[in-house]
A and B are shown apart, each in its own frame.
Chain A
Amino acid sequence: MWRSVDYKRRFRMQIENSFLKVENLSKSYRADAPPVFEGINFEIERGEFVCIIGHSGCGKTTILNVLAGLEEPTGGNAIMLGKYIKGPSLERGVVFQGHALMPWMTVLQNVCFAVKSKFPDWSKAKISEHAMKYLAMVGLVNAEDKKPSELSGGMKQRVGIARAFAIEPKMLLLDEPFGALDALTRGVIQDELLKICSETNQTVFMITHDVDEAILLSDKILLMSNGPNARIAEIVINTLPKGRQRAHLHHDAMYYPMRNYLVDFLVNRSKDLQARSANGGLVGYQPIVVLPGIDAPVNQ
């Protein structure tokens, strides 16, 4: 099938000019307990939207925090643009799970605080203009003088997204940004995020629990096995064509194979690796690369 070949070629190219590379990452919080995750290897290409899915406790947030520079891994490295990630950087914008807006600042002040951090030499007017541009981008107008406590959950999360985008990071890290939102609001913000990301060719790493969200947004989905000793079990290439829209998603021929494959992993296969690792059978394990609905799993 032409489509299969095309995807595989694209996937190989990703590895050659990798934007972000994670090598053999592991984390244990206690020396006498097994690591939460180990042997984590993956790469992200520039402009790629990558989602990571896994059950609670497999260390998704820890991986994101390592990429953000907020946590140190026990072993392994994360390399972005040829540099080891050591500590937080303005090159990586983070949208936190619980929006994390400064409650005493207005919406505009919150975004300006970030802009001023990135561009300390800019004039006040320029900073404010820049912040307003990004607030408008996430659909927040006439709310700039409100305090976060006066906003709905969806609006707060939009401010968080605007704040992360406003520093024009090379990579955006999203920690389950829509987890606390109702389905309708989530859908609207997902559409906005998709639009902004494709306009700005933003590289994104995002944690989600929502399979449909992953199918809609991502180019590549990392599936994590259960913790402890969690690993990236499979790398699923999104076989739905780009320019996906929420409303038409379920009409795509690839949608159900894709969705079934992901759900099946979460329900059935996510436990498999844990059992194998207990017997020491995972040394040097490489995740399998899958194109659901196109061909059978291949080894990387």
Chain B
Amino acid sequence: MKTVSIKVKGAILSIVILLMCLFIWHMATTQKVVTSPSESVNSSEYNSLMGQSGGETVQKTGFPTLTQMGQTIYKQLSHPFYDNGPNDKGIGIQLAYSLARVGLGFLLAMLVAIPLGFLIGMSPLAYEAFNPFIQILKPISPLAWMPIALYTIKDSSISGIFVIFICSVWPMLLNTAFGVANVRKELLNVAKTLEVSPIRKAFLVILPAAAPTILTGMRISMGIAWLVIVAAEMLVGGTGVGYFLWNEWNNLSLSSVIFAILLIGIVGMLLDVAFGRLQKAVSYAD
């Protein structure tokens, strides 16, 4: 059929794959356990200790069933902003903490990376001077900075922001420098022959010309920042979606852990889509 576009077909296929995964999940978590005679003594004892009795329809593992999962999602989403003290906050509040940290760290990184990237991109001398530092600092896992951040800043929340800053700064810095250094010489010559002032040249020629590359850097940075915030919050604790996830693991509530994982994925995707839109808005056909 020609009327069905490849997009629609793809969407149908996605749903089929999803249903298959859910089915496998369902089958894997709700199978009947038939106790075999040889194991019966030990496992029935163990099962009764665990509050389960052998031979009935039981969960095969501690893994939540689809129903339990659904209940958790419903419970979490119906009260996303409740606050019952430090260890019991709604997922909305936790997400807001994480997003605020990422946002702040990212903004700080932008404030440093874009002007510095401009400088490095425009001046070969600055490039040579800064390049060794960038090359050494770039491959360091942002979490490796955590002890130093905690020691010097003495605040876990700000340390989290610092870690986001340090991981987002490199892709933005390098992409800005690359974009600025590779603005077509012809366009710069046009600006020169028109005696355009340096400020006007920076904002009206170089910035728009390099914007797609800069946005690519920002998109990569945001992706990394969202990866890192979860790990950082697991480490420092207190608030945030990473802390929520770790806390639920300590509660042995796997359904909440899965819920958090799904949410992290969805928010990460939305952030990426947002930056993709921005990227499209500043890109131009040559």
Q: Give the B-binding residues of A (Cβ under 8 A).
A: 68-70, 87-90, 92-94, 96, 98, 100, 102-105, 113-114, 117-118, 147, 149, 167
> A98 and B186: CB pair below 8 A?
yes
Q: Does B190 contact A (CB under 8 A)?
A: yes
| Residue on A nearest B186 in the bound complex, by CB | A100
Task: With A90-B195, A117-B195, A117-B196 as known contacts, state yes or no: A103 contacts B190, CB within 8 Å.
Answer: no
B36-75 contacts to A, CB under 8 A, are none
Q: Which residue of the partner chain, among B184, B186, B187, B193, contacts A68 with CB atoms under 8 Å?
A: B193
Besides A102-B208, A117-B195, A167-B194, 20 other CB < 8 A contacts?
A68-B189, A69-B193, A70-B189, A87-B192, A89-B195, A90-B193, A96-B189, A96-B190, A100-B189, A100-B190, A102-B190, A102-B205, A102-B209, A103-B285, A104-B208, A104-B209, A113-B194, A114-B194, A147-B284, A147-B285
Task: A94 to B186: give the CA distance in the assembly, Å.
Answer: 11
> B205 and A94: CB pair below 8 A?
no
Q: Which residue of the partner chain, among A88, A94, A100, A149, contacts B284 with CB atoms under 8 Å?
A: A149
Digitize B160-202: 1 where CB-to-A-CB distance is under 8 Å, 0 elsewhere. 0000000000000000000000001011011011111000100
Q: Does B204 contact A (CB under 8 A)?
A: yes
Measured CB to CB, the closest approach of chain B to A224, in angstroms, equals: 22
Q: How many residues of B contact A (CB 8 A)?
A: 20
Measured CB to CB, the closest approach of chain A to B26, in angstroms, equals: 52
Measured CB to CB, the closest approach of chain B to A150, in angstroms, equals: 8
Measured CB to CB, the closest approach of chain B to A152, in angstroms, equals: 14
Q: Which residue of the partner chain, among A93, A105, A147, A149, contacts B193 with CB atoms under 8 Å?
A: A93
Task: A202 to B195: give the CA distance in the assembly, Å.
Answer: 21
**Which residues of chain B are near A103, meaning CB under 8 Å?**
284-286
> A88 and B193: CB pair below 8 A?
yes
> B286 and A149: CB pair below 8 A?
yes
Task: A88 to B285: give the CA distance in the assembly, Å.
Answer: 28
Q: Which residue of the partner chain, among B189, B200, B286, contacts A94 with CB atoms under 8 Å?
A: B189
Task: A87 to B285: give the CA distance in the assembly, Å.
Answer: 31
Task: A256 to B139: give the CA distance in the assembly, Å.
Answer: 70
Task: A96 to B200: give the CA distance in the assembly, Å.
Answer: 21
Task: A112 to B285: give the CA distance in the assembly, Å.
Answer: 20
**Which residues of chain A are near B187, meaning CB under 8 Å?**
100, 102
| Residue on A nearest B200 in the bound complex, by CB | A117
Task: A118 to B184: give the CA distance in the assembly, Å.
Answer: 22
**Which residues of chain B are near A147, meaning CB under 8 Å?**
284-285
Measured CB to CB, the closest approach of chain B to A168, in angstroms, equals: 13
> A70 and B286: CB pair below 8 A?
no
Task: A89 to B205: give the CA distance in the assembly, Å.
Answer: 18
| Residue on B nearest A70 in the bound complex, by CB | B189
**Which residues of chain B are near A87, meaning CB under 8 Å?**
192
Measured CB to CB, the closest approach of chain B to A78, in angstroms, equals: 15
B106-164 contacts to A, CB under 8 A, are none
Contacts A/B (CB < 8 Å), 25 sampled: A68-B189, A69-B193, A70-B192, A87-B192, A89-B193, A90-B195, A92-B193, A94-B193, A96-B186, A96-B189, A96-B190, A100-B184, A100-B186, A100-B187, A100-B190, A102-B190, A102-B205, A104-B282, A104-B284, A114-B194, A117-B195, A147-B284, A149-B284, A149-B285, A149-B286
